[in-house]
Amino acid sequence: MPSAVPPRSRFAVPQTLKRLLLPSWNRGHWFLRRVVEIAEAVLRRRFERCDVCGRATPVVHRAWVIPPRLVELWGLSTELASALAHKESDLCVWCGAKRRGRRLARTLLDLYPAGASARPATSIAAWIRDPAIAALDILEVNAVDGLHAYLSRMPRAVATEFDADAPAGAVRNGVRNEDLTRLTFADASFDLVVTSETLEHVPNLERALSEIRRVLRPGGRHVFTTPLMPGVPATYARAGVGSDGEILHFATPIRHPGGDVGYLVFYEFGADFPSILAASGFEVEVRYGPPRDEDLAQVFVTRVPRPLTALPIATTARRT
Ligand SMILES: [Zn+2]
């Protein structure tokens, strides 16, 4: 009668060793790759001063962040794929901020100059220490690489992530769950909303913009990045959600890298995108724009107009 216990594999020891050594091997591989990337940046003399952490840094470029399959499905030219890779990498080696994160940072420093009485802050690291800036109510929807580490130190900043399976507004492991199309915050709760590469992934753009406008105070701003390809004349939905909650596809489904299976793109934004933002009740500004084949890292700034105040003019003639 055969034994119920399987015979001890003669490979058991090497496999155990492999399990023990694998983390060290992965760490070594990661470290080696970082050294090569930084050496390449130094050799190519790619240096910048990072607007997020304030340090001088070699700029690490990673062409591979835009996979060939995405290039093919999205129909990107070589030039657009390259511009997208610059936007999605060109990392600060100190804080990990990508090019788009550093441009968001520069935009915040310009729009909210801190330390006006002395020298204006030149990095987000210094900016968050200013009392006037620390008093801002900031909503960061989905952590922005590099920037999040600093915004999360601000006493009045709220960071959220989206988990379709968790209740809206619930806090799990210190992270608040929020759906951008039905935020649980009260009206006029924030001075500033920051998002980065998020709007294209919401299934209902109109509701998301309406919600952002609702939670902002008059004069409040939404500062964000999102893909906008030159040569797309009008914004269109690549996908939507049917009445039963099923995903409907109106164009080739594309997913941006991230998460377990990537993030489905619901909207392809086009040249009319600023007018769509304006139609949602915002004043609109596009920084680093317009989108060009060689530069896709624009920053959008939308602002809730302040209500007009009545002019101090009497409605009846005053007799003297
Ligand atoms: Zn940095």
Q: What is the mean pLDDT of residues 52-77?
A: 96
**pLDDT per position as a tens digit, 264-302:** 999 999 999 999 999 999 999 999 989 999 999 999 999
pLDDT higher than threshold 60 for residue 89: yes
pLDDT higher than threshold 60 for residue 63: yes
Q: How far is the CA of 305 from the centre of ligand 1 (A)?
A: 33
Mean pLDDT taken over the chain: 92
Q: How far is the CA of 96 from the centre of ligand 1 (A)?
A: 6
Question: Does the domain formed by 49-303 have CATH 3.40.50?
Answer: yes
Q: How far is the CA of 89 from the centre of ligand 1 (A)?
A: 12
Q: How far is the CA of 62 from the centre of ligand 1 (A)?
A: 16
Tell me if the bond preceding 167 is cis, omega within 30° of 0. no
Q: What angle do CA 85, 87, 93 make, to 5 degrees?
A: 90
Q: How far is the CA of 148 from the centre of ligand 1 (A)?
A: 12
- Whether the Cβ atoms of residue 67 and residue 257 lie closer than 8 Å to each other: yes
| Sequence spans of domains, the chain | 49-303
Residue 163 has phi, psi (to 5 degrees) of: -130, 110
Q: How far is the CA of 93 from the centre of ligand 1 (A)?
A: 7
Tokens of 120: 């204006």
Strand 283-287: give its sheet, edge to edge.
Answer: 171-172, 175-177, 157-161, 138-141, 190-196, 216-225, 299-303, 283-287
Tokens 């009392």 -> residue:
131
